[in-house]
Amino acid sequence: MSSQDNNSENKSLMIVIIVGLIILLLLYHYWKNCHTNKNEPMANVNSKKVEVEIYHMVGCPHCEDIVKNKQSNGKTKLDELKDIFKSNKNVKISTFEYGKDKKADKFNAFPVILINGDSYDGARDVQTIVKSIKSKF
């Protein structure tokens, strides 16, 4: 057996090993994506804490749309947010009511949503708020 034949066999073996590794990586990626619960965004994937604070006032229609009024699914937007992140120990959602919680008394316009202390000024639908929370991870 010549050294040229031996080199050719080694190259073929390396190609087979590399292709096999690529296939294994693709299968792992596919399996990982198929076994992720899409209803629990980023559940405990990251250790970074996200604190969501919702400041509201009784009688404010915009506030009641978030914390009081039930949607077509029978839940308030606040309840739906809490349900989405209930298994994620890194997300804390708190509410503060004007006139009841001193922390809310410092605001004069409502509702106020803070995510990690930053003012959230986006749309007030659940999906958009969830995207904003997820972006903090």
Q: What is the rounded distance in angstroms from the CA atom of residue 124 to the CA atom of residue 118?
A: 15
94 forms bridges with which residues in the sheet? Answer: 53
- Per-residue confidence in pLDDT tens, the chain, 137 aa: 566 667 788 888 999 899 989 998 888 877 776 655 555 444 445 568 999 999 999 999 999 999 999 999 999 999 999 999 999 999 999 999 999 999 999 999 999 999 999 999 999 999 999 999 999 88
55 forms bridges with which residues in the sheet? Answer: 96, 112
Q: At the top level of CATH, which class does the domain 50-134 belong to?
A: alpha beta
* Two tokens, residue 42: 């980023």
* Two tokens, residue 70: 């039930």
pTM metric for this prediction: 0.66
52 forms bridges with which residues in the sheet? Answer: 93, 115
